[in-house]
Amino acid sequence: MQQNEQLIVQWAPTLLKMQLDNLLWQDKDQINVGELWKLFCTYNPGFTKDDWLKLLNDPNVIGPVWGGTLAAFYDAGGQGTCTQIGQIFGKSAMSISGYCTNLAKHIHKITSCPLSIRKNGTTRYWPILFLGKKADSGTPGSFIWRLRDELKEALGEFGIERFLWEKAVKPENEDLLDETEKEKQACEYYNKEDFLSEVFMSEEHLDQLIGLVRRKKNVILQGAPGVGKTFTSKRLAYVMMGMKDKSRIASIQFHQNYSYEDFIMGYKPVGSDFVLQTGVFYDFCEKARQDPNREYFFIIDEINRGNLSKIFGELLQLIETDYRGEETLLAYTVKLLFNRRLIMSER
């Protein structure tokens, strides 16, 4: 046993170089050479090329969306990040990631194939279709997905190119991009895999949470101090936006002295006079109103410490989903539009 361990340690760099592209692994910076053998026990769903061909010929499996997703990866040489694929075909990285995950879930549902299990005990579905590894700093996106060899071979024989989406047309001059598009390109993309690698939560619970937030527009995260509620709230916003766009997130903390004047608007002393000034929430709502096609997230820390009726005033009613998008007359005869795209996360 001692000789075997010495042999593995001695050949570890060579073995890593030879096997790197075929491994499904994570936390590569924390690899313990003494546990190197664990890297070679890779997950495999157990499908042969013929199994994949049978699935591909099932009209309930392959159609314009899922077929287009596989065709996009196949057209890119069989691998790429969701960001790279999305840029080629004019789709968001989150959409590409969602298509892959939902297709893999459907395949698992109809075949009951084994699943890949994370170290924290949660399941992941995308390895049914792909091998994966972390992308380097120079690659757009955070994770490189590569079609499994059996699947790639089956896609070629099946003729998956017939489902290929139309590729996006890149502008000849970058100056033609509007400010919103430039801002998007400057942000780092963020998908479910990024969220699940940072937050101790199963993919099923994440999907439920996203669905709840989109339907109700508000959610309260409850837990003991230090368990990561604020951390989770911000990353929930990132995954719903599909990118780390901090400009569309505002975070404040309530306390006993926080008031309507601080939150919405009120008269405050300026020199020898009192001037009507808007608060942080009013300003954020106005920012969201001017950008109606994108979602904005407002995070309230320590919401239980504030006097909600004193802070929100007449806006308490507008928090409800049914009243979003309607204007209301504030106490100081100013109208405010509570945008349907504004989502509040309270803890």
Give the domain CATH number at 219. 3.40.50.300
Beta-carbon count within 10 A of 56 CB: 19
Provide DSSP, 114-159: --EE-TTS-EESGGGTEEEEEPPTTSSSSEEEEE-HHHHHHHHHHT
State the total domains in the chain: 3
Residues contacting 270, CB < 8 A, separation 6+: none
Give the domain CATH number at 70. 1.10.10
Q: What is the pLDDT of residue 345?
A: 55
Mean pLDDT of all residues in 249-270: 89
Residue 330 covered by a domain: yes
**17 is in which domain, residue-wise?**
2-40
Q: Give percent of the chain above pLDDT 70.
A: 76
Rg (CA), the chain: 25
Give the distance from CA 281 to its chain's centroid.
Answer: 25
Mean pLDDT of all residues in 92-111: 87
Confidence band for 202, pLDDT divided at 50, 70 and 90: confident
Residue 179 covered by a domain: no
Question: pLDDT tens, 286-314?
Answer: 888 888 888 899 999 999 899 998 998 87
Residue 175 covered by a domain: no
Half-sphere exposure of residue 341: CA atoms within 13 angstroms, side-chain side: 17
Residue 187 covered by a domain: no
Q: Is residue 140 located within the same domain as residue 85?
A: yes
Q: Is residue 300 located within the same domain as residue 236?
A: yes
Q: What is the pLDDT of residue 79?
A: 92
Residue 181 covered by a domain: no
